[in-house]
């Protein structure tokens, strides 16, 4: 018995030491590169150039996606919830308010927060702040962003406390997570890269992988870069070249989708809609082409494919489609410009996971001003009109007819998706 | 080339069919072109303006309106439907008597051109019937009216008179609400 206790004690001691070491490693925020310019002595032209670059960085990095004020009035005053399995965290106020925002931040402070996930008081930021992606931001871009942020209108809105369950509400524990999962902060080096602009936009500023890359049990990004992940109740699809080709994307359509929010493959929905309005719709065609090229990674993307008809489609699903969907989407899924997306080239039915398809049919999509004058009318919610069995029949019909997927979604799977997402 | 379906339904209490119809026929076309029920108005044709709202009665799930312009006969096959022609009652001589909702719209001068009116009548009728089954607190009435009529577009009267008429019907019909309305708020 005593021997057992000794062994147990030793194991506890080893665990404590290991956690202590990890904590110590994680507390080390790494080197901070020197400021790119003397920010106290900027000439007017240089200042103007940096402000323009800063605005570009803020848009490309989509700060507003999380830091916007859901009550309106400011894209940077915070308050938007991010729902995770551990609870909710709320976007913070990053206006230059000295009381509630980041008005006291130096340019060094901003770099450490953005690239290393550490606030000026040494407090660890939750990795909902995508510093694992931003860690390669260049110091020059961080400085330009700082200059631009400090030019914005301060909003004295207090931050909302996070709502995380134990033990995830112990902030210092993030140091241990950082030791294990935070990449080293290495400023982006374009030397030798084939498409540096595309890589910088997708992997660093755009932080696409934060939603599109699968996470492990510790909620850290895995090595399956951009392989698709369910996040905040929706499936963020696989963006790897083969998957894009299979779903009938072309480079041109990717650019259109990011520029206007719409392409034959679909319309921006769920958390991609704010990405369009805050970020991608403001990027130049060169930037968007670089993103599309980087995602294609040399693979020839063929564009929409005429799919051979799938297996025998269920007649029940066919009647539901004609009765409820065809009035807008057309008998053959051709859609109507600016009001209903075509379904014959839409990618939503092509995902293995029927989550998005079920939620969109059940919840509908609000009317939206997309970008560059493009808009779509509302899609009604059909959740109240369809039993779970009918929903399964309709989903299976869409998967078989246009998704190239088997009609294997069960009524139980539909019930489970709808129950899980009642709160969204 | 669309297939055909064998369609039957109860429309305004009358059994319709069996009819051999194109399977992709939209309900508004069946009503107007096949059944001569022309009161249902086709406007946007995209399910957005609700001028063509008709009532579908589901014995289990209750009644709801659906836009007849984008709802196909394939969905309504076998169902029980009411259109604007089925809302008014009849007196002893067989002459039409406006329903309380229709009378309130007349009393409040709720419409001018009337193109949207059948849709508003049907939506308000469904709301009143829902409150008969499940009354709501008086203070929630305006929100309930807003929610029920919000999808309906009117270009003439600015909605207020429709809303006031429905509020009048709900507050003056016993059993639709719980609690009492303050004297100042009582409709004239």
Mean pLDDT by 10 residues, chain A (424 residues): 75 66 63 88 94 97 94 91 86 95 95 93 88 94 97 94 80 78 81 93 96 91 94 94 95 97 94 94 97 95 76 77 96 92 94 95 94 93 93 95 92 93 65
Same domain flag for A259 and A339 = no
Residues B126 and B83: their CA atoms lie apart, in Å, by 12
Mutate to test the interface with A, among B6, B22, B23 (most CBs of A within 10 A): B23
**Candidate from A326, A339, A377 with C-beta closest to B72:** A326
Nearest C-alpha neighbor of A394 from the set A330, A313, A338, A331: A313
- For chain B, list the domains and their CATH numbers: 4-86 (3.10.20.30), 89-185 (1.10.150.120)
What residues does A82 pair with on adjacent strands? A89
Same domain flag for A327 and A407 = yes
Is B68 in the A-facing interface, judged by CB distances under 8 Å? no
Mutate to test the interface with A, among B55, B68, B70 (most CBs of A within 10 A): B70
Question: Is residue A94 situated within a structural domain?
Answer: yes
Residue-wise DSSP of B51-73 = TTEEEEEETTTEEEEEETTT-BH
Question: Is residue A148 situated within a structural domain?
Answer: yes
Using the 3D structure, point to which of A154, A181, A208 is the last residue of a domain: A181
Question: Is residue A305 situated within a structural domain?
Answer: no
Question: Is residue A311 situated within a structural domain?
Answer: no
Same domain flag for A380 and A276 = no
Question: What integer pLDDT is reported at residue B183 of this predicted model?
Answer: 47
Question: What integer pLDDT is reported at residue A314 of this predicted model?
Answer: 66
Question: What integer pLDDT is reported at residue A16 of this predicted model?
Answer: 65
* Cβ atoms of residues A107 and A35 within 8 Å: yes
Same domain flag for A289 and A346 = no
Question: What integer pLDDT is reported at residue B157 of this predicted model?
Answer: 78
- Domain containing residue A18: 2-181
Same domain flag for A156 and A10 = yes
CATH number, domain with residue A280: 1.10.760
Question: What integer pLDDT is reported at residue A286 of this predicted model?
Answer: 97
pLDDT in tens, B25-49: 999 999 999 999 999 999 999 999 9
* Cβ atoms of residues B74 and B21 within 8 Å: no
Instruction: Indicate the average pLDDT of chain B.
Output: 92
Same domain flag for A258 and A324 = no
Which residues of B fall within a CB distance of 8 Å from A323? 71-77
Cα torsion at B157, A380, B41, B156 (round to 10°)?
A: 10
Question: Is residue A308 situated within a structural domain?
Answer: no
* Domain count for chain A: 3
Same domain flag for A168 and A217 = no
Residue-wise DSSP of A30-69 = ---PPPSS-TTS--HHHHHHHHHHHHHHHHHTTHHHHHS-
Question: What integer pLDDT is reported at residue B124 of this predicted model?
Answer: 97
Query: What chain B residue is nearest to A324 in terms of C-alpha separation?
Result: B71
Specify the DSSP element, H or E, that contains A263. Answer: strand A262-263
Residues A256 and A250: their CA atoms lie apart, in Å, by 10
Same domain flag for A140 and A27 = yes
Residues A76 and A66: their CA atoms lie apart, in Å, by 8
CA angle B60, B63, B65 (to 5 degrees): 140
Question: Is residue A188 situated within a structural domain?
Answer: no
Question: What integer pLDDT is reported at residue B180 of this predicted model?
Answer: 75
Q: How buried is A34 (Cβ within 10 angstroms: 0-12 exposed, 13-18 middle, 19+ buried)?
A: exposed
| Statement: residue B56 has pLDDT above 60 | yes
Same domain flag for A97 and A169 = yes
Which residues of A fall within a CB distance of 8 Å from B73? 323
Question: What integer pLDDT is reported at residue A77 of this predicted model?
Answer: 94
Residues A231 and A52: their CA atoms lie apart, in Å, by 33
Same domain flag for A38 and A159 = yes
Nearest C-alpha neighbor of A174 from the set A111, A123, A223: A123
């Amino acid at each position: 018995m005593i021997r057992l206790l000794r062994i147990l004690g030793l194991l506890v001691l080893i665990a404590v030491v290991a956690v202590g070491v990890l904590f110590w490693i994680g507390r080390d925020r790494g080197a901070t590169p020197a400021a790119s310019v003397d920010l106290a002595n900027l000439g007017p032209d240089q200042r103007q150039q940096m402000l323009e670059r800063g605005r570009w960085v803020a848009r490309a990095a989509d700060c507003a996606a999380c830091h916007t004020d859901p009550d309106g009035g400011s894209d940077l005053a915070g308050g938007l919830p991010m729902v995770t399995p551990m609870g909710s965290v709320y976007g913070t106020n990053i206006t230059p308010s000295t009381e509630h925002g980041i008005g006291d931040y130096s340019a060094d402070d901003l770099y450490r927060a953005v690239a290393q996930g550490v606030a000026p008081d040494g407090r660890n930021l939750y990795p909902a702040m995508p510093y694992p992606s931003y860690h390669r931001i260049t110091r020059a871009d961080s400085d330009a962003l700082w200059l631009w942020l400090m030019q914005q209108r301060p909003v004295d809105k207090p931050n909302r406390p996070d709502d995380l369950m134990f033990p995830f509400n112990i902030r210092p524990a993030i140091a241990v997570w950082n030791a294990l999962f935070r990449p080293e902060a290495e400023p982006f080096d374009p030397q030798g890269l084939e498409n540096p602009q595309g890589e910088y936009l997708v992997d660093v500023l755009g932080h696409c992988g934060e939603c599109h890359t699968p996470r492990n049990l510790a909620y850290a990004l895995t090595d399956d870069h951009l392989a698709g992940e369910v996040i905040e109740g929706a499936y963020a699809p696989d963006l790897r070249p083969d998957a894009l080709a299979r779903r009938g994307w072309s480079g041109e359509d990717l650019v259109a989708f990011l520029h206007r929010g719409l392409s034959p493959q679909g319309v921006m929905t769920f958390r991609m809609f704010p990405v369009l309005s805050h970020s991608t719709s403001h990027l130049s065609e060169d930037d968007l082409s670089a993103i599309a090229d980087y995602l294609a990674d040399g693979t020839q993307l063929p564009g929409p494919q005429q799919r051979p008809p799938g297996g025998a489609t269920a007649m029940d699903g066919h009647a539901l489609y004609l009765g409820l969907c065809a009035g807008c989407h057309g008998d053959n899924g051709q859609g109507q410009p600016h009001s209903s997306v075509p379904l014959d080239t839409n990618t939503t039915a092509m995902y293995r996971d029927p989550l998005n398809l079920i939620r969109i049919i059940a919840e509908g999509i609000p009317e939206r001003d997309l970008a560059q004058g493009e808009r779509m009318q509302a899609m009604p919610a059909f959740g109240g009109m369809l039993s779970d069995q009918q929903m399964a029949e309709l989903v299976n019909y869409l998967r078989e007819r246009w998704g190239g997927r088997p009609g294997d979604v069960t009524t139980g799977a539909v019930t489970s998706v709808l129950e899980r997402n009642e709160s969204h | 080339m669309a297939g055909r379906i064998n369609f039957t339904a109860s429309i305004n209490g009358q059994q319709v069919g069996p009819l051999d119809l194109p399977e992709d026929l939209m309900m508004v076309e069946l009503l107007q072109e096949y059944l001569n029920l022309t009161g249902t108005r086709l406007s946007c044709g995209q399910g957005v303006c609700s001028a063509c709202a008709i009532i579908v009665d589901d014995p289990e799930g209750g009644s709801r309106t659906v836009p007849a312009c984008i709802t196909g006969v394939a969905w309504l096959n076998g169902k029980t439907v009411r259109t604007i022609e089925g809302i008014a009652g009849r007196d002893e001589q067989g002459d039409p008597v406006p329903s309380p909702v229709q009378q309130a719209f007349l009393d409040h001068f709720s419409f001018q051109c009337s193109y949207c009116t059948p849709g508003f009548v049907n939506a308000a009728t469904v709301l009143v019937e829902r409150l008969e089954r499940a009354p709501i607190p008086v203070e929630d009435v305006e929100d309930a009216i807003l929610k029920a009529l919000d999808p309906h577009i009117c270009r003439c009267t600015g909605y207020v008179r429709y809303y006031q008429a429905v509020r009048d019907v709900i507050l003056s019909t016993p059993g639709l609400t719980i609690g009492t309305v303050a004297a100042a708020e009582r409709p004239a």
